[in-house]
Structure 1
């Protein structure tokens, strides 16, 4: 009897299961159709990212007029029609690149809102400009991309100013004015202060290659970046200290 019971259990364990196991990498509750949809969505996201990176390089290196959608497609080994499927015209693709770059900056600045309110307004303001500096070091084509578009009469500059630059300026002006009221920034046109900070925080990325050849200083060195940020802050700290005496 024991042998017959053992035999029945073995036959049951050897019998093929009527329940098909879920494929690896997909939850058992997820249908094959949903899994395919997820893959297609991720593929579309990856394709757009590749196009954006290639377009940034193309526009930065050649400028808008000389840039070509066909060359952008060739950079990532995609058919020309794939690029135009996502971005119908070169203008729309350029705008998408600009918006993507500044969206990252906006997100960095939004994260700065979590900084303790007990800190001085100037310190909170500086943290946003420092985020801009770090962003430009991580995206070395950023300044090159923009520099090609800021000459007078450029047809893309009004769109850039209206949709991106002016809103970012409006975000920072109240903080600059608050820092002036606090006494950590001297009196003066807050818009000019904004551009002073932008200029100061652009030095490591704009002059990075020159600094390396002339002085052997690499802007990619975190210690150098920290030293530079401390130097910028000390300019205003020294100003405030001298006025307080």
Structure 2
């Protein structure tokens, strides 16, 4: 006698099929990053995410219990390359002079931003309507990264290497100079005929910012 599939057996078979696709979760996260960045949380569609990931939408709830958890994990995934870079390079930063460490941090953030524009858009979406998601972003992702820069610049001020500048202003000016440039591709092409995401543009803008912030903040030595 042939067994008739029940709702339970169909669900079990669907989960087993999902388990056989190790890249399925990553595909969902990448699609979710794009959707949340472009549409924002409220307008983001689970159906569109599923279609972009090439899965049936019930598979999403196999990996993520609800839309909020999917958003949090997508935001975490968006910043993962930068956090990995920072953690890997932290021992080196502790051994070099503060301004050298700041130069490394600028280069890391610039190259990350050029390659991962969705991260900045996710933050921008939540900044437009501040709430619990922005609180979560700040506490779990942004503040730990900012604290590294705060410590580097504070150390440089204490040692008299740079002028006693407002650290928050320096950090936000650097972030704005990076994010605005690499996120404004269509406008820059129309205004200046420049593709900000070409390898040459990325390197040129990054090194300009290193020179601007590192040498611009340095304490001026009196002429001999």
TM range, normalised to the smaller chain? 0.7 to 0.9
Deviation string 1:15-50 (CA, Å, 9 cap, x unpaired) is: xxxxxxxxxxxxxxxxxxxxxxxxx99855401110
The whole-number CA distance in structure 2 between the counterparts of 1:92 and 1:174 is 31
The whole-number CA distance in structure 2 between the counterparts of 1:148 and 1:118 is 37
Residue number in structure 2 paired with 1:240: 218
Residue number in structure 1 paired with 2:73: 96
Residue number in structure 2 paired with 1:136: 113
Asked if 2 retains the 8 angstrom alpha-carbon contact of 1:121 and 1:182, the reply is no
Deviation string 1:186-244 (CA, Å, 9 cap, x unpaired) is: 21332332222212222321223221221111112222222222322332415537454
Residue number in structure 2 paired with 1:36: none
Residue number in structure 1 paired with 2:28: 51
Q: 2:90 is matched with which residue: 113, 116, 130?
A: 113
Change (3 A) 1:170 1:140: closer
Change (3 A) 1:64 1:238: closer
Residue number in structure 1 paired with 2:10: none
Q: Secondary structure at the match of 1:212?
A: helix
Residue number in structure 1 paired with 2:8: none
- Cα offset for 1:73? 0.9
* Structure 1 residue ranges, 4+ long, deviating more than 6 angstroms after superposition: none
Change (3 A) 1:97 1:199: same
Residue number in structure 1 paired with 2:178: 201
Aligned runs of 1:149-164 on 2, under 5 Å? 149-164=126-141
Q: Secondary structure at the match of 1:88?
A: coil
Q: How many residues align?
A: 206
- Tell me: higher relative CO, structure 1 or 2? Use CA pairs within 8 A at least 6 residues apart: 2
| Alignment of 1:228 onto 2:194 | no
Q: Which runs of 5+ in 2 are unaligned?
A: 1-16
Q: 2:42 is matched with which residue: 57, 60, 65?
A: 65
- Cα offset for 1:85? 0.6
What's the C-alpha RMSD, in Å, of the aligned pairs? 2.4
- Cα offset for 1:56? 0.9
Of stretches 79-88 and 127-136 in structure 1, the one that deviates more from structure 2 is 127-136
Q: Which runs of 5+ in 1 are unaligned?
A: 1-39
- Cα offset for 1:117? 6.2
TM-score by length of 2: 0.80
The whole-number CA distance in structure 2 between the counterparts of 1:84 and 1:111 is 33
The whole-number CA distance in structure 1 between the counterparts of 2:111 and 2:77 is 16
